[in-house]
Protein backbone atom coordinates (compact mmCIF):
# COMPACT_ATOMS: atom_id res chain seq x y z
CA UNK A 1 0.00 0.00 0.00
CA UNK A 2 1.41 3.42 -0.95
CA UNK A 3 1.93 6.15 1.64
CA UNK A 4 -1.01 8.22 0.32
CA UNK A 5 -3.29 5.16 0.38
CA UNK A 6 -2.23 4.43 3.95
CA UNK A 7 -2.97 8.02 5.00
CA UNK A 8 -6.43 7.95 3.34
CA UNK A 9 -7.21 4.59 4.93
CA UNK A 10 -6.16 5.88 8.35
CA UNK A 11 -8.29 9.02 7.95
CA UNK A 12 -11.33 6.99 6.86
CA UNK A 13 -10.88 4.55 9.73
CA UNK A 14 -10.59 7.46 12.17
CA UNK A 15 -13.81 9.01 10.88
CA UNK A 16 -15.66 5.70 11.14
CA UNK A 17 -14.46 5.13 14.69
CA UNK A 18 -15.47 8.67 15.62
CA UNK A 19 -19.03 7.96 14.46
CA UNK A 20 -18.84 9.97 11.24
CA UNK A 21 -21.15 8.97 8.39
CA UNK A 22 -19.99 6.24 6.07
CA UNK A 23 -17.86 7.62 3.22
CA UNK A 24 -20.22 6.24 0.54
CA UNK A 25 -23.05 8.36 1.98
CA UNK A 26 -20.86 11.46 1.86
CA UNK A 27 -20.14 10.93 -1.82
CA UNK A 28 -23.87 10.58 -2.55
CA UNK A 29 -24.54 13.98 -0.98
CA UNK A 30 -21.80 15.49 -3.16
CA UNK A 31 -23.65 14.48 -6.32
CA UNK A 32 -25.47 17.28 -8.13
CA UNK A 33 -27.17 18.02 -11.43
CA UNK A 34 -23.68 18.71 -12.76
CA UNK A 35 -22.81 15.02 -12.35
CA UNK A 36 -24.85 13.95 -15.41
CA UNK A 37 -24.32 13.85 -19.17
CA UNK A 38 -27.25 13.57 -21.58
CA UNK A 39 -27.77 13.89 -25.32
CA UNK A 40 -28.94 17.08 -26.98
CA UNK A 41 -31.89 16.99 -29.38
CA UNK A 42 -29.25 16.68 -32.13
CA UNK A 43 -27.75 13.56 -30.50
CA UNK A 44 -24.56 15.12 -29.14
CA UNK A 45 -23.41 14.32 -25.57
CA UNK A 46 -23.77 17.33 -23.27
CA UNK A 47 -22.38 17.40 -19.74
CA UNK A 48 -24.59 19.32 -17.36
CA UNK A 49 -21.33 20.40 -15.71
CA UNK A 50 -21.15 22.86 -18.62
CA UNK A 51 -23.91 24.76 -16.79
CA UNK A 52 -21.96 25.24 -13.54
CA UNK A 53 -22.50 28.77 -12.27
CA UNK A 54 -25.91 29.08 -13.95
CA UNK A 55 -29.40 28.79 -12.52
CA UNK A 56 -31.35 26.02 -14.26
CA UNK A 57 -34.99 25.15 -14.65
CA UNK A 58 -35.19 21.46 -15.62
CA UNK A 59 -38.53 20.51 -17.18
CA UNK A 60 -39.92 17.26 -18.57
CA UNK A 61 -41.91 18.28 -21.64
CA UNK A 62 -44.38 16.84 -24.14
CA UNK A 63 -45.80 18.15 -27.41
CA UNK A 64 -49.36 16.83 -27.05
CA UNK A 65 -50.20 17.61 -23.44
CA UNK A 66 -52.70 19.98 -21.89
CA UNK A 67 -49.67 21.80 -20.42
CA UNK A 68 -47.77 22.07 -23.74
CA UNK A 69 -48.66 25.77 -23.87
CA UNK A 70 -46.17 26.24 -21.03
CA UNK A 71 -43.45 26.23 -23.70
CA UNK A 72 -44.49 29.84 -24.34
CA UNK A 73 -43.97 30.79 -20.68
CA UNK A 74 -40.69 28.88 -20.52
CA UNK A 75 -39.40 30.79 -23.55
CA UNK A 76 -40.54 34.12 -22.08
CA UNK A 77 -38.88 33.31 -18.75
CA UNK A 78 -35.70 32.29 -20.56
CA UNK A 79 -35.68 35.49 -22.61
CA UNK A 80 -36.15 37.58 -19.49
CA UNK A 81 -33.33 36.03 -17.43
CA UNK A 82 -30.82 34.36 -19.78
CA UNK A 83 -28.48 37.35 -19.66
CA UNK A 84 -28.31 36.95 -15.88
CA UNK A 85 -27.10 33.33 -16.03
CA UNK A 86 -30.36 31.40 -16.40
CA UNK A 87 -31.04 28.35 -18.58
CA UNK A 88 -34.17 26.31 -19.22
CA UNK A 89 -33.32 22.67 -19.97
CA UNK A 90 -36.21 20.77 -21.62
CA UNK A 91 -36.29 16.98 -21.51
CA UNK A 92 -39.05 15.58 -23.75
CA UNK A 93 -40.57 12.38 -22.38
CA UNK A 94 -43.29 10.03 -23.62
CA UNK A 95 -44.18 8.60 -20.21
CA UNK A 96 -47.74 9.90 -19.92
CA UNK A 97 -50.48 8.75 -22.33
CA UNK A 98 -48.22 8.83 -25.40
CA UNK A 99 -48.12 12.64 -25.36
CA UNK A 100 -44.60 12.84 -26.84
CA UNK A 101 -44.64 10.19 -29.59
CA UNK A 102 -42.40 12.00 -32.09
CA UNK A 103 -38.76 11.52 -32.94
CA UNK A 104 -36.11 13.97 -31.76
CA UNK A 105 -36.21 15.65 -35.19
CA UNK A 106 -40.01 16.05 -34.97
CA UNK A 107 -39.78 17.41 -31.43
CA UNK A 108 -37.10 19.90 -32.46
CA UNK A 109 -39.20 21.09 -35.39
CA UNK A 110 -42.32 21.38 -33.21
CA UNK A 111 -40.55 23.42 -30.53
CA UNK A 112 -38.83 25.77 -32.96
CA UNK A 113 -41.80 26.33 -35.29
CA UNK A 114 -44.73 26.37 -32.84
CA UNK A 115 -43.07 28.04 -29.83
CA UNK A 116 -39.85 29.48 -31.31
CA UNK A 117 -37.87 28.01 -28.42
CA UNK A 118 -34.28 29.13 -28.08
CA UNK A 119 -33.43 27.32 -24.82
CA UNK A 120 -31.72 23.90 -24.90
CA UNK A 121 -33.93 20.92 -25.71
CA UNK A 122 -32.48 17.48 -25.10
CA UNK A 123 -33.08 14.09 -26.67
CA UNK A 124 -36.24 12.28 -25.59
CA UNK A 125 -35.80 10.31 -22.37
CA UNK A 126 -37.92 8.51 -19.79
CA UNK A 127 -38.52 10.29 -16.49
CA UNK A 128 -40.14 7.49 -14.50
CA UNK A 129 -40.15 3.76 -14.00
CA UNK A 130 -37.44 1.20 -14.68
CA UNK A 131 -36.25 3.02 -17.82
CA UNK A 132 -35.93 6.43 -16.16
CA UNK A 133 -32.82 8.38 -17.12
CA UNK A 134 -30.24 8.52 -14.28
CA UNK A 135 -30.74 12.31 -14.02
CA UNK A 136 -34.41 11.81 -13.22
CA UNK A 137 -33.69 8.90 -10.89
CA UNK A 138 -31.44 11.28 -8.94
CA UNK A 139 -33.88 14.20 -9.13
CA UNK A 140 -36.75 12.08 -7.78
CA UNK A 141 -34.86 10.09 -5.12
CA UNK A 142 -31.76 12.00 -3.97
CA UNK A 143 -32.12 15.69 -4.80
CA UNK A 144 -33.89 16.65 -1.59
CA UNK A 145 -37.08 17.31 -3.60
CA UNK A 146 -37.97 13.67 -3.96
CA UNK A 147 -41.07 11.98 -5.27
CA UNK A 148 -42.18 10.52 -8.57
CA UNK A 149 -42.82 12.60 -11.67
CA UNK A 150 -46.62 12.47 -11.94
CA UNK A 151 -47.10 14.25 -15.27
CA UNK A 152 -45.46 16.36 -17.97
CA UNK A 153 -44.02 19.80 -17.19
CA UNK A 154 -42.74 19.11 -13.67
CA UNK A 155 -40.02 21.67 -12.95
CA UNK A 156 -36.85 21.59 -10.84
CA UNK A 157 -35.10 24.87 -9.98
CA UNK A 158 -31.34 24.36 -9.66
CA UNK A 159 -28.90 26.79 -8.01
CA UNK A 160 -25.58 27.69 -9.67
CA UNK A 161 -23.77 25.00 -7.61
CA UNK A 162 -26.01 22.21 -8.98
CA UNK A 163 -28.27 21.81 -5.92
CA UNK A 164 -32.01 21.52 -6.47
CA UNK A 165 -33.62 24.33 -4.46
CA UNK A 166 -37.30 24.00 -5.47
CA UNK A 167 -39.71 21.77 -7.34
CA UNK A 168 -43.01 22.66 -9.02
CA UNK A 169 -45.83 20.47 -10.28
CA UNK A 170 -47.27 20.66 -13.78
CA UNK A 171 -49.96 23.13 -12.74
CA UNK A 172 -47.38 25.77 -11.77
CA UNK A 173 -47.00 28.11 -14.72
CA UNK A 174 -43.39 29.07 -15.55
CA UNK A 175 -44.35 32.75 -15.09
CA UNK A 176 -46.08 32.23 -11.74
CA UNK A 177 -45.10 34.73 -9.06
CA UNK A 178 -43.78 31.94 -6.78
CA UNK A 179 -41.49 30.43 -9.43
CA UNK A 180 -40.25 33.85 -10.58
CA UNK A 181 -39.59 34.92 -6.98
CA UNK A 182 -37.66 31.70 -6.27
CA UNK A 183 -35.69 32.12 -9.50
CA UNK A 184 -34.75 35.71 -8.70
CA UNK A 185 -33.62 34.68 -5.22
CA UNK A 186 -30.92 32.35 -6.63
CA UNK A 187 -29.82 34.37 -9.67
CA UNK A 188 -26.47 36.11 -9.38
CA UNK A 189 -26.84 39.81 -8.57
CA UNK A 190 -25.52 41.69 -11.61
CA UNK A 191 -26.78 45.18 -10.71
CA UNK A 192 -23.37 46.40 -9.52
CA UNK A 193 -21.59 45.46 -12.76
Q: Supply the residues annotated as catalytic.
A: 65
Strand partners, 47: 37
Which DSSP category does 49 fall into? G
Strand partners, 55: 86
Strand partners, 56: 87, 158
Name the H helices within 18-167: 23-30, 70-81, 104-114, 134-141
Q: Give 176-184 contacts, CB < 8 A, sequence gap 24+.
A: 179/77, 179/155, 180/77, 182/157, 183/55, 183/57, 183/77, 183/81, 183/86, 183/157
Q: How far is CA 150 from CA 49, 72, 82, 89, 133, in A?
A: 27, 21, 28, 19, 15
In b/e form, how buried is each residue of 29-39, taking b as 16+ CB within 10 angstroms? eeebbbebebe
Amino acid sequence: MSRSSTVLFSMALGLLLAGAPVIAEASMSEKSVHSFTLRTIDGQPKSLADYKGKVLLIVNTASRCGFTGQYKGLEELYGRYKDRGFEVLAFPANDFLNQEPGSDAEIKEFCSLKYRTTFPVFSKISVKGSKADPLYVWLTTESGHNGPIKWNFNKFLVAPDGRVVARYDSQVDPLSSKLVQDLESVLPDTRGE
